[in-house]
Structure 1
Amino acid sequence: MKRQICLVVPTNRECTATLAEVMAEAEYAKRHHDVDVRLLVLDSSDDLTAHAKVLAGARDALHLDESQQRDFLRQVVGHAEVSEPGRLLDLLLPRKPSYGACTNRAFLIAAALGCESVHRRDSDLYFQTYAGEKIFPIHIELSALGRPARDVVTTENILDDSRRDMPVAMVGASFVGDMSVDVEDIRDADGYYDLVSLWAAPGSTEAEKRALVEDSFTGSAPFEGDHSVLSVVDPMRVDMHNISFHGLHEKVPLPPATDTIGSDYFLIHVADRAGLPGVLHNRHIVNFHTAERKSDAGFLAYQMRFAKFILSMYYFHYIYDRMTTDDPKDISAIVRESTWQPRAGNEAQAHLMEQAYRRLGGRFTRVADRIREQRDTLLFEARRDIEDYADLIDAWEGLVAAARETPLPHA
């Protein structure tokens, strides 16, 4: 029987061109690997009809709007017999945008479809072309994901011998093109370092902060031939729109934080801190910024998501520093402990962040004003998001088991 895999695109924007690219990747996987590909599109956009027309040409595509996703999740939550089912449903499908929650939905739907791995792409990408051919990441992902590390062939192998009997849990790469966080317009501004360095870990030296700022959100070199490394993958080298998981996504969910960029990167850190085998390759996708993000409303919304990301790192640095396993119970306990920190440290971050935005001037002054106006709310939400995450981790095993037994009426 062929392996079942899930290739997923979450979207809240028009992305017909990207969908055509990912459809081609799915067909490539079927031709070159012994797999059945379920192409899953989780659609929260106003362009359902246009997307449906494109996807009509795809075999085994599953295109779900939010109401269809909610119907499925309501059944899963009911079958899991969790406490506070209404709250849990809100964490899986919140009213506000959530990068982590949309990917968690993909994980649960993949379980319902019987897929053993999830391969995520985003709606603002296309694939590189080299020697007249598209460079699809799924080629490397399927050659390694889920296999014992000792059997995986890569260009380099720097994995410790003690880990070579473990399965490869993650395969990923990065991007070329626009920066993954939309701060390119201010990269040469005086306040750029002041702002971006705020996500550095507590206790970082000045040299470490400058190295982090230089490396942050910048992507990698264009493709010039395959190169892959079997190792415990450095989280700074991979991006969530070019990532795949085997097994790990069924053990630990992603943070369901709303209006926060970076909330979907947690599993990359779990794989790193738990020492799980992974493959880092160079089939990077091409990232681009949509026009909506440059509008006044889109700009402000995005910068506030970046602000919440910085405030969330107060908790995530605590977690990453103490996490040594992929055991959900251990991780849940550490996540809860992180919320016991005095809020004063994050209050200081909020103040520095407001100052940094204000020094940038221009339209960034509006961001500084909004941070000042909503300071207490932002600090409260950053902590509440982490508390919500601990509860979701505790419920995740039951949710995945329930999803496996829940039919997808729209499949």
Structure 2
Amino acid sequence: MRRVCLTLPTNRPCAGAVADIVAEAAHGAREFGVEVHVVVLDSSDEASRAVHRKAVDALPEAPGVVVHHLDEDAQRAFLTGAAVRSGAAEPERLVDLMLPDGVSYGACTNRAFLVAEALGCSSVHRRDSDSGYQEHAGAPVHPLHQELAFLGERADRAKERATSSRLDPASAHLPVALVGGSFIGEMSVDLDEIRTLDPAVYERVVTLSVPDDHPSLWRARLVADAFRGAGTEPFTADRTTLGRLAPTRVDMCNVALGREVYASLPLPPARDTIGSDYFLLHAVHGARLPAVLHNRHIVNHHTPERRTGDGFLAYQVRLAKYFLAVPALHAVHTGMAARGTALLDAAGHLRTSAVTDLVRDAASGDPAAGARRLDVLDRAYRALGGRWARAADHLAGQRADLLAGARADMEDFAVLLDAWPALTGASRNQELVTT
């Protein structure tokens, strides 16, 4: 029986999201005859973990659904065993990269990839704890339905069922490697207050998400669309497009990847950096692997902690680190696109070493580019005044660490890439003890 991993990484209270994702798993198991392993990677505080555990225990059994609730102790034990078995020279460093002391959007998903390998799954389907499902005709609109319908299918056969197709005939023999949608509702990055306060400042800030070498016409369009997802149009009927999928059309709360992708490449494990978990979307696009875009968009909402006090300042650090990461990541994305199908081996799987070389080169990029970006952000925040000026002071006090961290993050990514094939292999034989 086909096994798939539906994962929910979380560091906040989200008992409702846990129940919703298990209901989505039950839908997938019932409609497609698969075994869905729901993996809740729980990094929340002790009280929240207890609530989550109680919520899991109270869920009715669903045929074909297996729920794994792993706190950080269970995750660390699993990762340590896999890292040691992999034969890595520094297993402790690998564990720290995969389970760091702090928020890492890439690392939490990397853990899901390795757990999926241990469970014998063929794909990973990711959701977030600050999002929910649309409803249509009185029922939730589950992205898993389209993910299971297309992921792993030969592209030429998937073409027969897709609403539309832009499939390159040269890729017709390959399986669909990615299925994704976007979100509706609030912006994925919490910048709406800036847009309300001063649209010109908003444009200057959002422009930092666009690589410096993009043509001005493209830059304007990218800025206008940045972090907006699929807008506000609600779901009314299914639409699917097969082809080469632009990374900007997909959100990581609404994505599924085949193991031919994540068994070869991890995500950047950068701490406190939003957007670091989108790397594999660019890898799939660069390698010209077939993908399906659907319109079962998730409903996005922001949790209160990122808008007040220490949570607000912590979020600004994560945003600044993302802006600092853009030039290096763009260099890698461009390199992957230039190599195209040369990124693939004979079986159509991504070649780890081909990407590692690009990451190492990007790690030695121009540090002045990062300094200029921090200068732009500083002037923008100070122009807004109030708490934004205080955020500018906070970032200025960390300037040296932020600049050094941007380089170190890429170096860490290269280290993890080197170890990844051995880690995924070791994970397949590693015992998983859940809570």
The answer to whether the superposition gives a TM-score over 0.5 is yes
User: How many Å separate the matches in 1 of 2:291 and 2:366?
Assistant: 36
User: How many Å separate the matches in 1 of 2:155 and 2:308?
Assistant: 46
Residues 189-237 of structure 1: per-residue CA shift (max 9 Å, x gap) = 2310111101211222333222111100112132110000001100010
* 1:197 and 2:207 aligned: yes
Residues 151, 178 of structure 2: 8 Å contact kept: yes
* 1:284 and 2:297 aligned: yes
Structure 1 runs (4+) deviating above 3 angstroms are none
Question: 1:345 maps to what in 2?
Answer: 369
User: How many Å separate the matches in 2 of 1:306 and 1:339?
Assistant: 19
Structure 1 residue 300: deviation in Å? Answer: 1.0
* 1:219 and 2:229 aligned: yes
Opposite residue 18 of structure 1, the aligned amino acid is A
Question: 2:347 maps to what in 1?
Answer: none
What is the SS of the residue equivalent to 2:228? coil
Question: Given the alignment, which residue of 74, 81, 99 partners 2:80?
Answer: 74
Structure 1 residue 407: deviation in Å? Answer: 1.2
User: How many Å separate the matches in 1 of 2:124 and 2:155?
Assistant: 18
* 1:293 and 2:306 aligned: yes
Question: Given the alignment, which residue of 274, 279, 284 partners 2:287?
Answer: 274
RMSD of Structure 2 on Structure 1 (CA): 1.1
* 1:17 and 2:16 aligned: yes
Unaligned runs of 5+ in 2: 344-349
Residues 272, 318 of structure 2: 8 Å contact kept: yes
Matched-pair identity in %? 44
User: How many Å separate the matches in 2 of 1:137 and 1:150?
Assistant: 22
Count of residue correspondences = 410
Question: Given the alignment, which residue of 81, 85, 92 partners 1:86?
Answer: 92
| TM-score after normalising by structure 1 | 0.98
Matches within 5 A, 1:101-140: 101-140=107-146
Opposite residue 106 of structure 2, the aligned amino acid is G
Opposite residue 76 of structure 2, the aligned amino acid is R
Matches within 5 A, 1:388-399: 388-399=412-423
User: How many Å separate the matches in 1 of 2:313 and 2:26?
Assistant: 38
Question: Given the alignment, which residue of 246, 262, 282 partners 1:234?
Answer: 246
What is the SS of the residue equivalent to 1:198? helix
Question: Given the alignment, which residue of 314, 319, 322 partners 1:306?
Answer: 319
User: How many Å separate the matches in 1 of 2:20 and 2:225?
Assistant: 28
User: How many Å separate the matches in 2 of 1:280 and 1:334?
Assistant: 27
Question: 2:52 maps to what in 1?
Answer: 51
Question: 1:375 maps to what in 2?
Answer: 399
Opposite residue 164 of structure 1, the aligned amino acid is A
* 1:330 and 2:354 aligned: yes
Question: Given the alignment, which residue of 272, 277, 287 partners 1:264?
Answer: 277
Opposite residue 192 of structure 1, the aligned amino acid is Y
* 1:252 and 2:265 aligned: yes
Residues 172, 242 of structure 1: 8 Å contact kept: yes
Opposite residue 261 of structure 1, the aligned amino acid is I
Deviates more, 1:51-60 or 1:70-79: 51-60
Residues 193, 210 of structure 1: 8 Å contact kept: no
Opposite residue 32 of structure 1, the aligned amino acid is E
User: How many Å separate the matches in 2 of 1:316 and 1:210?
Assistant: 20
| TM-score after normalising by structure 2 | 0.92
Opposite residue 50 of structure 2, the aligned amino acid is T
What is the SS of the residue equivalent to 1:191? helix
What is the SS of the residue equivalent to 2:88? coil
Question: Given the alignment, which residue of 171, 179, 192 partners 1:184?
Answer: 192
User: How many Å separate the matches in 1 of 2:22 and 2:112?
Assistant: 17
Deviates more, 1:214-223 or 1:391-400: 214-223
Structure 1 residue 94: deviation in Å? Answer: 0.4
